[in-house]
Structures are given as structure tokens and as C-alpha cells.
Structure 1
């Protein structure tokens, strides 16, 4: 198709506004506050993964399958995509020559029940020619190439909207209406923006950015937007890496909230639990921007009240703050991406850094 798809921390639960109610219902408020302040604990699964002699080369992303029973692992090497069981055994890999420097993988489930895997082919590797880089590629879950959005190629980067063109495109998510959301802009890229698109036509529906797609620190502006996800209310969560924050928006672009809880760490990964009646949580991975392997995973309770002005009512007083120190890989290391099981009982880390293996952390939530 022409312009679109081309083919072959602890604290009070509420603010002072709720103090009067708590005085009236002291016991109930104490129970709620204790629940919100309880610290979840996680420990690394030392038996994960079980890959034997598998060649590991710059694990960039990990994503659970739509059914939640397989882990798709993205690496900047061969094979580009591998599929693991949740205990880390290799099931299969994609035999594809369509990926140059894959950054992320996201699944789309259409209204008709079809499932597609979308991979951001961020930038072409030095040795690559042909159709690699600066585009989003569409595959079947088994790795059959179906097409792309944006022109792919070593010198194809751009900021155009009609037709759309990307530079160092980083991540994709889908909301409940089937709209595609894209973060476009990694280190040294032309763009620092979030776009929404029609995945069938590639038509751009919205663009959020500072003027000229430059780095910006205001609401709806970004400095290296690195990851994106949506919740059951169709709210959009963006990892604004070098602004050291998470921004949250309504689907129409209205700014709702930001979390600046990460000090000088870059905010690289986002993942939401499955969103049962009152237990949705946001997992955020952050890391030093100099790839020293030092970072955190922080967990925030997310309100399932779609009308609330602040989806994360506790703000930076999240349910958990877990320091994680990675080993040094052959090219430094960083907590590049996080994925979480539907109920939050485990999370997975993609530790970008040469020869480092992905990690699985298991939760002990008995105190909650």
C-alpha cells in the first residue's frame, strides 16, 4: 500500500483533603493505608532462563504473548526474535531476514480476533543494506513478514506525516479502540514525539511533541520517548526517558499526570498488570543513562476509575521500590524494558548490554 502498509515509595494514601473522612472512619482508613503502603518483595529466579548454548546478543525487549503463556525475546543479533516458555526454555525462533536493529515487539488483537506482532526496526545496523531501519514491521506471531508502516532503509529517516516517516522509532501500543500508539525518538534521533495512527492505513491521527519535534520538558513534550502502553480506560502512559518521568494522557491528548520519582535515572520501561477490578499496577524500569547497570523497578497502584483526574492517586508513593544492579555486559548494561505477568506475580527484565541474559523476578505478596 502507498503511504501506509507496504508489503514484500511509602506514605499517605490520600492528600489532606481526605483527612476529615479518615477522622470519622479511622479504622477503615488505617486498613486502606496499610494496604497501600505494604511493600511487595521480589526475588530473582536463578534458574531463568534455560537457554543452554543459545547465542545472546543485546537483548532489547521482552513481551508476553497475548495468552500470557510465552515470552517473546527480541535481540539485536540472530535470531532476532525467540519464543520462550515462562520458565525460560526455548520453544522456537523466527527465521527472518526482515529485521535489522529491532527495538520492541508489541501484539495487536483485532476486532476480528486476528493477532499480529509489530516490531520497531529502529535503525539500520552498519553492515545492513536494503529495507532495514526507521519503520514499524508487521508479522504473524510465527514470524511471517506482512508489511511495514514508514519507509524502511538506511537513509529513510524523517519526520513526515503524510505519508508518515519515523527516525529511531522505539515502541508501539494499541488501545481498546484499535488505535496504534507510537513513540518515535531514541538517542540522536530527529524526533521526540508520540503519534497515534490507523494501523490499517498508516494515517496519522494525532502528534504530541514540542515544536519541531525537538526535546521538550512541558506536558505533552518529550526527551527520548522510549516506551508506551495503554490501560483499560484507554489512558496512554509514556516513558519519557531523559526527562526522568512517566507522563499519562487521555486518548484525546489531554494531560492527566506525571510521575517524577526516578531521580536522574532514565525511564525506559513500562508495563501494566491485567487490570482486574481493583488491582491494576504500573511497573516502571529505570536505569542510569551511562549504562552502569544500576537501576530500579518501581510499582504504582493505578485507579480503574476512568473518570479520576489522577490515575495514580498515591503519586510517587508507589507500592514498591526495588533497586536492581545488573552485571556488566560486554557493552555496559541498562534495564532497557520490563514486562509483567497479568496478576503481577512475576516480572521480566530485558537487560540491554551485549551478552546479558533476560531476567525473571518472582513476587512474594503474602503481606498484602
Structure 2
């Protein structure tokens, strides 16, 4: 008598294992079938399906989406056995529930969020801000994925315990495309503090604009893609010191080194009280509404219109630390410069600290 053939045993392997608990949301779901043909896989929780795709050999399915915290997932695999009969297998697992979490965001600088799809100057830094202190810096850096076109190598730099920067060795090449992702879900950033969600952004580098402000020559030259396009008479920081109301020493130099444009404002109320000079009888006291302001440091350095001291432009330094320009030149700067553009100050005795604005470029590559 003819015997009906029997189907080969199906061996279905699912990772995470069936009934697993405390699964990290960073873990990939992988379903593999031997002895049968895997037709489809669904991984669902709360009515939502996890993204994923089948390998080319049709034997393995892999998830591409991120799991959530404190969620139970059902894995349903639809197969056909060696005789073509349909088979369905299911399993479940549950992800971990962290007690402490942090969020992540991208900054153009400490004053401005990064604009996804935006265009920035060649001095722009990748800045990642964590909502809580990070004690496992290696884990944080590993979670960051940076892709550039053309490809360029870079380094991480921790500005403080919550702020991670990344830059190439030299200014970006114009036209560079930059993609940044922080895969924070399931990552322990130290002390059992886990990332709440994965985030990503992308931006482009525009034309190369580098301004060179010479403290001795009293001129600021602006180069676009290497060509000199404007030479502006200016008056920079007069230098010297005074003592603020809190007893701290205050200087009046335009700081030496690489500055990066942080933002622009049509009007800024500039008040010496903001950094400690509150006595109106002090010759360094001022309280003025200043126009056409392009900011280049957190400590209050701007390129701005200063029609009140035009006689000093191109001849001597008399400002409190800003780069004073004619109204016409300040208007041109305001209309032309973008965030991330570079202003290099030379021949000033006071160097800009790395933390003052995007001062990263002033750290040597070996120590960055």
C-alpha cells in the first residue's frame, strides 16, 4: 500500500526567545525557519506592527523598527511546510521598563535648535544635548551614527556632562551632506538611565564663508569660496579690564581665534549689567539698543552696526569687545551670514575659550 508522505519537521527559531522578559528595546527581532518556507512575519503590540523585512533567501525575517519599553510583543510567523501545507506559529516576549530615562535633541548651538534639512556654514558643529548627565560616555558615543557625503572623519568632544560635540579635523567642504542619528532606545547611558526614543536629523553645508577680523589692521575681510568679496573697516575690543559688581574681572578684548556664527537679530538690547558693570558712573557702563546684530559667542561678541564711532573704524579699537561696523556693512553681514559661518579673529591677546560659542575649532586636533 502506498504511504502518504509526511512533511519535514519545521524548526522555527525566534529571537528574543518565547516568553522572554526584560528584553532590551534595542534588540532586533529575528525569525528563522528550517524545514519549511517562511511566508510572512508580524510583530505586534497594542495594535501596532513593527517594521521588518525578509532576507533574500526567504528563510529569515529581521525587524528594522525600534521596540518600545514595557510592551508585550506577539510574533506571528506564517509558513508552509515541505508539502505546501500552511502552518502558523506564535510566541510572545516583553520588553524592559526603565525607572530612569533621558531624552536627546540636536542643537545648532546652545541658543538655537538644529533645523532638519537646514543649510549651515563650514564651521558648524554637530551638537547633541542630553536631558540628564551622561556617565557612560562610551555608550553615548556608540549610540551616535554620523554619515557624511563626501565621507569625512571626525572626533567627539564632551563640552560638559550633557553636551556631546562632533567635528571634522578641518572646516567642512562646501556642499557636504550630513546625516546624524542617535539610537538611544535601550541604551544605558550610565546609572540605569535609558534613552526614551531614537532621533535623527540631516543638514547641508552651504558655500564657504570665512571672515578674517584683524585686531591690528582694524579691518574684517570676508571670503566666499576662497575669493575676497568684502573688506570692511571695523573697530574691535579696546582691551583692558574692569571689576564687575560681583568682584569678577571683566575684559574688553575681541577674543582671538575661531568664532562661529550662532544667530542673528535685528535689535539687541546690550547692557553692561549683563556681565557685571552696573554702576552708571563707571565709564564702561552702557545700555543701548543695537541694530543688525550677528552673534559669534555666548559671552556677547557680535558683528553689529556702530554708527556712533565711525571715526574709529579702520583706525583704532574702541568697542567693549564686539566688532563694530558701519550700518551698510552690518546690514550686508546680517543679510549674508548664516549659522555656522566662520569669523577668525587674529592678533588679539585674549584667546576665546572652547566653551564660548562653538569654540571647538580652537582645540588642537590631537587634544579634541
- TM-score (structure 2 length as normaliser): 0.21
Judging by fraction of residues, say which structure has more strand: 2
Using the size of structure 1 for normalisation, the TM-score is 0.21
Structure showing greater radius of gyration is 2
